[in-house]
Structure 1
């Protein structure tokens, strides 16, 4: 092993006898708990009730997890619809024998779309302000949560980077690897920390937080720009698309960036916020 080469061979779960606690699942739990704490601070600053905070947590968890899973199936693994349908919604594999897999195969693009939909439903049923008012505030927490999701991907040795062709990189031993790859998951996690800090600072220290849609737009631009450029260091998740000029993740990121720019610089609310 060379000085700049790291052999990555971690345990992925704790075997509790009756249950395997996967660290990837733990990272999602950490993401939601920290997200809840950040949102709680923001909601109290906005004089919102604890009941509305509890509700947004429930809507977020269900919406993001369901959307992330459906996004992965639709964009990356559509064959599951016909080959192993129930594995889409349950943490089990049925094809080729019953097996507990945990919740694997989650796509951030699907999670983003589901977050918007779930916040629309939450606003309609609970808060009754505007969807953008909610999105401008929850994206701060979502950016922080994204850091831990990518760390979970690294623990799982999934969404791996391309071979570096040098002594620098990570050898994913559990995949039978012997050559170093880019730790793309950690690249993303590192830059998402700065996305969170920028959003956090913008909300608490600037007047831009009062410009409806700006924080939501800033989130979309920052997060998906990071995703777009880090994708250059990743292996294609769908082998048949490996020779595309831009991969699936990049193509899906472009519309989010454009929508973000629209809300930052063009969008003007038609009515005043209630």
Structure 2
């Protein structure tokens, strides 16, 4: 894999950002990018873990569980939902003007431009359609997907870091601040790594603990915990992440590295937080290990 050994010339106390080629493997005209590998690793890792979860009957009680074949099909449905939803979400939420001026650039996905909240909505719609077609419990399918989702989030944020994109706010006094290749001369928070840790690793551990204690016997509970956990983690990380340049702060302005206005990431996380709380309350108010109808 082509990895440049070049490092940026930085002042003391600033960690050098390793300039890594965004193309992981190149064979003739075929180029495989780290971003694509991150999507593949997240989907395959999630698929493998999900199959183990549905195979563990002790986690389900009397709740109908998806089969291994259902999980196999969910992989394709979710992949399409994430890609289409992520792209559409980015266009609608982050840069509608650009794509109105140049509609053909909508299809230039290799230039970047994916929104997590859009991908999440796309995946949810795809799983809803799959559950309806198979007569599965919608919330149970969501619970499985929510448990494995942080795997994909983790790899996606690592890919953001490798690409040197979505960098953090200026932090000149931070010992491990970095100067990103396209982020100007100021040392910045490596906010991609913060998000990989909080939205990926920590959320994965939290959900694994919930599944170990409660299992999937309360449909919607794990989905609710994921929604609340992601919304909180993303909102906290937004205090360290530089707002998208075409949007900036929606309300207020930045005062320091840890202060600032409201960003689009925070706004989009609010309905996720509310929905997650509602799902948790709903799940805990019902008796566990009961068979439910599709809804």
TM-score class, shorter: 0.7 to 0.9
Match of 1:11 in 2: 21
Question: Does the CA contact (< 8 Å) of 2:218 and 2:286 recur in 1?
Answer: no
Match of 2:292 in 1: 273
Report how many residues are paired. Answer: 261
- The structure carrying a bigger helix percent of its residues is 1
Match of 1:179 in 2: 186
Specify which of 198, 205, 228 is matched with residue 206 of structure 2.
198
Give the Cα separation in 1 of the matches to 2:153 and 2:233.
12
Match of 2:87 in 1: 69
Specify which of 255, 258, 272 is matched with residue 271 of structure 2.
255
After superposition, the Cα gap between the structure-2 partners of 1:176 and 1:248, relative to the gap in structure 1 and judged at 3 Å, is: closer
After superposition, the Cα gap between the structure-2 partners of 1:179 and 1:85, relative to the gap in structure 1 and judged at 3 Å, is: same
- 1:177-197 CA-to-partner distances (Å, cap 9, x unmatched) read 332100111001011201011
Gaps of 5+ in 2: 1-9, 58-64, 252-260
Q: TM-score, normalised by structure 2?
A: 0.82
- The 3-state SS of whatever aligns with 2:17 is strand
After superposition, the Cα gap between the structure-2 partners of 1:39 and 1:103, relative to the gap in structure 1 and judged at 3 Å, is: farther
Match of 1:49 in 2: 67
Question: Does the CA contact (< 8 Å) of 1:64 and 1:111 recur in 2?
Answer: yes
- 1:119-142 CA-to-partner distances (Å, cap 9, x unmatched) read 11010112x122111111111111
1:113-128 equivalences under 5 Å are 113-126=121-134, 128=135
Give the Cα separation in 1 of the matches to 2:276 and 2:210.
15
Q: TM-score, normalised by structure 1?
A: 0.88
Specify which of 38, 43, 46 is matched with residue 32 of structure 1.
43
- 1:203-238 CA-to-partner distances (Å, cap 9, x unmatched) read 1x2125311211000000111100001001111114
Give the Cα separation in 2 of the matches to 1:43 and 1:86.
42
- 1:152-206 CA-to-partner distances (Å, cap 9, x unmatched) read 1111111111110225301112x16332100111001011201011112221x21
Question: Does the CA contact (< 8 Å) of 2:80 and 2:123 recur in 1?
Answer: no
Gaps of 5+ in 1: 92-101
Give the Cα separation in 2 of the matches to 1:109 and 1:240.
16
After superposition, the Cα gap between the structure-2 partners of 1:266 and 1:52, relative to the gap in structure 1 and judged at 3 Å, is: closer
More divergent stretch after superposition (189-198 vs 239-248): 239-248
Give the Cα separation in 2 of the matches to 1:48 and 1:240.
41
- Alignment of 1:104 with 2:112, yes or no, is yes
Give the Cα separation in 2 of the matches to 1:243 and 1:185.
21
Alpha-carbon RMSD across the aligned residues, in angstroms, is 2.1
- 1:41-83 CA-to-partner distances (Å, cap 9, x unmatched) read 1122256433212211111100111111111111001124323
Give the Cα separation in 1 of the matches to 2:97 and 2:82.
22
Specify which of 34, 49, 58 is matched with residue 23 of structure 1.
34
